[in-house]
Amino acid sequence: MSAPPSDVERIKAASRYLRGSLADSLLDPLTGAIRSDDTQLIKFHGSYQQTDRDLDAERRRQKLEPLYSFMIRVRVPGGVATARQWRRMDELADRYANGTLKLTTRQAFQLHGVRKRDLRATIAGFNEALLDSIAGCGDVNRNVMCYPNPHQSAAHGQLLNVARAISVHLTPRTTAYYELWLNGEPVTPDGEPLPEPTAPDHEPIYGRTYLPRKFKIALALPPANDTDVLANDIGLIGIEEGGALVGFNVAVGGGLGMSFGMPATYPRLADVVGFVPVEEAVAVCERIVTIQRDWGNRSERKFSRLKYTLDRMGLPAFREELHRRLGHELAPTRPYRFTHSADTYGWATSPDGYAHLTLFVEGGRVADTAPGHGLKSALRAIAAYHTGEFALTGNQNLVIVNIAPQHRERVAADLAAHDQWDATANAAFTQTALRRHSLACVALNTCSQAFAEAERYLPDLLDRLDAVLRAHGLADAGILIRMTGCPNGCARPYLGEIGLVGRAPGRYNLYLGADHAGQRLNKLYREQLDEAAIVAELTPLLAAYAADRRPAEGFGDFVVRRGYVAATTHGLDFHA
Ligand code: SRM
Ligand code: SF4
């Protein structure tokens, strides 16, 4: 007998296409929270109920309910936002959230600290600027990632168009989102509930219970793998011919989450299964989504992601099922080569004279250092006149895209006026390359899953590691370092040449040996290290790297070559 469906499956099935009792929960003035089942459903609308974990203990002592607030994840397919959208997000962050914008590892915006009473105004606020949060979270396809600058070449422009088409095609069709957040009150002024919609909702792709679990798609155009394409349920690797995008190698079954003490859970990189022409990219994604819908595990959420479905079915059976649903076989995989997964910082200029400036945003947090002073204010000033776009990268950074020739000096001056010297430096960065290649997940104080700090702490740890790097002449070594507060993998730590994963407050597991281009997972090197131990473990390795590395050899490749860790060749041997 098969195991019963999980509780989340019950909630989805009973939700009337994601409505649940959210309308009532939002109106309840007695609590800052929403009802328990609704906390699952609101994720599909792009929001998580959270508490301020810094205050939890004190509020418990005072017999107060936790300080509830909501994170809202605003989708930006391919990361490309207009200047108007930037201005609106900047404004909403100040008016309803904690005054900062988080640029996520999947090219979305996150607002933190929004109170229940302000949820509607916030969502309506970004909706006016043509942004949405539906499918920001939940058991559906999430924000589709791709290379952030569509103006870099014709092929990059095509890539963004495909990312947007996939995003639209896989967006849930339920009208619940519009009804709850945008089309006025879900109850009439005299308290009568609105009648059920006359045309009942229908989800042609997902069905009534949506997917068994979250689903992620990314596109990349070699040699750049800036979206860590193989960490996704579906990775589309663009193939160019004569400057045009002709199609994609399709990779399936990537995903990074795991749980400590459960070796049956593991990070896994996607397998490349064949090639499709551009015109078929949307269809192939839809068919893979439906395989996961029908074959994914709906009983045990720890094993629900496509990667487990795939390893359970076996690659040949999965491929056969995909061919059956597509009506034909995939074409053979085309050759490709990734060289890096990090962003390239500084200025670039297009042949038409327009410029693009990639800025490092530490931890993806756009904030000021003092009122009116810092990165947030600098970007607000630029957004007032910039005629191009603001593109969020998969590395939590920002590209100011298509800066008109007459604005170039002004952009540089606005950044400098707000102390953003490194932003405009190009060759002469004051920060180490290690810092510029760092990623950190949100973790405390909002993430309920965090065992340890990440975003708030990594800059301090980097101060100590910077000193080691400088002492060994490694200030310009672009080593990928990634920290998360738990093993879920939100800053893709298992693709870090140095991965630090929170075990307990102030304690991290250290993983080493990923490559520099997102094509090899790392491996556990040491457990439960505090700061002194992290520095002590890394110092001799960095010294050896400085002394003995081969030309152009990455740190991850070096530690594997020298036998500090074995190479991970598949998710199934990650724990070996
Ligand atoms: Fe994540 C859950 C933040 C990218 C794997 N992630 C969470 C939650 C919602 C915590 C929770 O469940 O209560 C975090 C909200 C914290 C907060 O306070 O904001 C959270 N994840 C993030 C972000 C904001 C990290 C960041 O600092 O940038 C990223 C938002 C991406 C976006 O815009 O959609 C983020 N999360 C990722 C990635 C990286 C990626 O997708 O490229 C991963 C690893 C890839 C993957 O999915 O396998 C990731 N997040 C998870 C998991 C583990 C999933 C699994 O299969 O086991 C969870 C927990 C879960 O789903 O049960 C999770
Ligand atoms: Fe939270 Fe863990 Fe994700 Fe960090 S990795 S944001 S601690 S769920």
Q: What is the pTM for the complete model shown?
A: 0.97
Q: Is position 285 annotated as part of the catalytic site?
A: no
CB 287 within 8 A of CB 325: yes
Catalytic residue among 137, 146, 285, 441: 441
- Count of H helices and E strands in the chain? 17, 21
- How far apart are the CA of 258 and the centre of ligand 1, in A? 12
Nearest ligand atom owner, CA of 439 = 1
Phi first, then psi, for residue 333 (nearest 5°) are -55, 140
Q: What is the rounded average pLDDT of the residues 103-108?
A: 98
- How far apart are the CA of 267 and the centre of ligand 2, in A? 15
pLDDT over 80 at 200, yes or no: no
User: Which tens digits make up the pLDDT trace of 227-255?
Assistant: 999 999 999 999 999 999 999 999 999 99
Catalytic residue among 116, 380, 490, 492: 490
Q: Is position 216 annotated as part of the catalytic site?
A: yes
For ligand 2, whether the C-beta of 560 sits within 6 Å is no
User: Which tens digits make up the pLDDT trace of 450-472?
Assistant: 999 999 999 999 999 999 999 99
What type of residue sits at position 509? N
Q: Say what the pLDDT of residue 189 is.
A: 43
pLDDT over 60 at 387, yes or no: yes
pLDDT over 80 at 185, yes or no: no
User: Which tens digits make up the pLDDT trace of 142-170?
Assistant: 999 999 999 999 999 999 999 999 999 99
CB 211 within 8 A of CB 297: no
User: Which tens digits make up the pLDDT trace of 431-443?
Assistant: 999 999 999 999 9
Atom in ligand 1 nearest the alpha carbon of residue 108: 33
Q: What is the rounded average pLDDT of the residues 61-80?
A: 97
- How far apart are the CA of 490 and the centre of ligand 2, in A? 6
pLDDT over 70 at 114, yes or no: yes
Q: Say what the pLDDT of residue 429 is.
A: 75
Nearest ligand atom owner, CA of 364 = 1
Atom in ligand 2 nearest the alpha carbon of residue 452: 7
Q: What pairing do the DSSP bridges indicate for beta strands 217-220 and 234-241? A: parallel
User: Which tens digits make up the pLDDT trace of 34-57?
Assistant: 999 999 999 999 999 999 999 999
Residue 395 Cα distances to 169, 286, 340, 490, 520, angstroms: 25, 26, 12, 11, 17
pLDDT over 60 at 187, yes or no: no
Residue 104 Cα distances to 17, 141, 190, 220, 550, angstroms: 27, 16, 41, 17, 34
> The tokens 């098969």 sit on which residue?
2
- 3-state secondary structure at position 89: helix
- How far apart are the CA of 414 and the centre of ligand 2, in A? 33
Atom in ligand 1 nearest the alpha carbon of residue 394: 42
Atom in ligand 2 nearest the alpha carbon of residue 491: 5
Q: Say what the pLDDT of residue 192 is.
A: 53
Phi first, then psi, for residue 575 (nearest 5°) are -85, 0
Percentage, residues of the chain above pLDDT 90 = 93
> The tokens 């006026």 sit on which residue?
417
CB 404 within 8 A of CB 388: yes
Q: Is position 137 annotated as part of the catalytic site?
A: no
Residue 36 Cα distances to 40, 49, 214, 291, 310, angstroms: 7, 10, 20, 30, 32
Work out the pLDDT band at 316, boundaries 50, 70, 90: very high
Q: Say what the pLDDT of residue 420 is.
A: 85
Provide the CA 476 distance to its chain's centre, in angstroms: 26
Nearest ligand atom owner, CA of 46 = 1
Sign of the C-alpha dihedral, residues 534, 435, 450, 515? negative
Work out the pLDDT band at 425, boundaries 50, 70, 90: low
Instruction: Show Cβ contacts of residue 127 under 8 Å, excluding neighbours closer than 6 positions.
Output: 181, 182
pLDDT over 90 at 194, yes or no: no
- How far apart are the CA of 196 and the centre of ligand 2, in A? 38
Work out the pLDDT band at 521, boundaries 50, 70, 90: very high
Catalytic residue among 73, 87, 293, 305: 73
pLDDT over 50 at 186, yes or no: no
| Average pLDDT score over the chain | 95
* CA-nearest residue, atom 5 of ligand 2: 490
Q: 70 has which bridge partners?
A: 49, 114
Catalytic residue among 75, 106, 213, 216: 216
